[in-house]
Amino acid sequence: MIIKLFLGWLIILMCFIATTGAKELYTICFKDIGAFAPEQRSLELTFSESIPTPDEVDRLLRSSLEQAVLIDAKQDITALAFLKDDTLKRSQYSGPLFYKASAKQILTEEMLKLTKTLQYETENYSVRIQDGKTLDGVKPQRRWLTLQVIFLSEPTIPEAYKAAIEEIKKVTNQGLDATAYVYVGDKEKETARTQMKDPTGGYIFVRYISENRKIFKKIDQFVESVP
């Protein structure tokens, strides 16, 4: 179903509703954001009650974006997935997609940020290091490192923190802020691993602040200073 509705600053260019019997499964809406971002459009894949597998969400989001590009390939498009009003988590799909009109390409978030990824194995876990930076045009420009310490089976809390601290120490000589998160699951597939929780609240992660060369557990639990 193709509709064109003027709703103040928002124009809905296309809206499709998928159903089974009388039950609504999901909607796909292609929107012109209007005055807020005249060269930007959005595509929203919204599930009504439950979501399918991450692979199926990824397939639906990409195919929907490809259809939107056929409608208008002259403007950038950001494609996101939701469950009702909540954006899906990275454990539920691989993340948003971006169509860049200037390059005529569909890009992942990692590709858009020009993130470089290094992966290696240790005896007990795998490590992924992403070298991230702010998007082009964003001032001031920033770079940082994000580490994922991935265990196949869940370690103890002390083992998880010890591994995160050991790995973050290895990158302190690069002069960048860094954060190490601990995950459990498949090292190859992001949607098949989960972030490990801290029983005191929140998740297990370790931060390195390059300005003062200090390592912290979570936000402010000081661990040590790096020489």
**How far is residue 167's CA from residue 221's CA, in Å, rounded to a whole number?**
17
3-class SS at 162? helix
Residue 132's pLDDT band, with cuts at 50, 70 and 90, is confident
| Closest CA relative to residue 56, chosen from 25, 23, 34, 35 | 25
Residue 39's pLDDT band, with cuts at 50, 70 and 90, is low
Mean pLDDT along residues 77-81:
93
Note whether 96 and 70 are within 8 A (CB).
no
Mean pLDDT along residues 142-149:
92
pLDDT tens digits for 188-203? 888 889 999 999 999 9
Q: Say if pTM beats, i.e. exceeds, 0.85.
A: no
Count CB neighbours of 59 within 10 A. Answer: 13
Instruction: Give the up-direction half-sphere exposure of residue 38: CA atoms within 13 A in the CB hemisphere.
Output: 1
Helix/strand/coil percentages in the chain, nearest 5: 20, 45, 35
DSSP 197: B
Residue 35: predicted pLDDT:
47
116-225: which CATH topology? Answer: Diaminopimelate Epimerase; Chain A, domain 1 (3.10.310)
**How far is residue 101's CA from residue 120's CA, in Å, rounded to a whole number?**
35
Domain boundaries, the chain: 5-111, 116-225
Is residue 28 scored above 80 in pLDDT? yes
Residue 4's pLDDT band, with cuts at 50, 70 and 90, is very low
**How far is residue 223's CA from residue 215's CA, in Å, rounded to a whole number?**
5
**How far is residue 31's CA from residue 50's CA, in Å, rounded to a whole number?**
23
DSSP 198: P
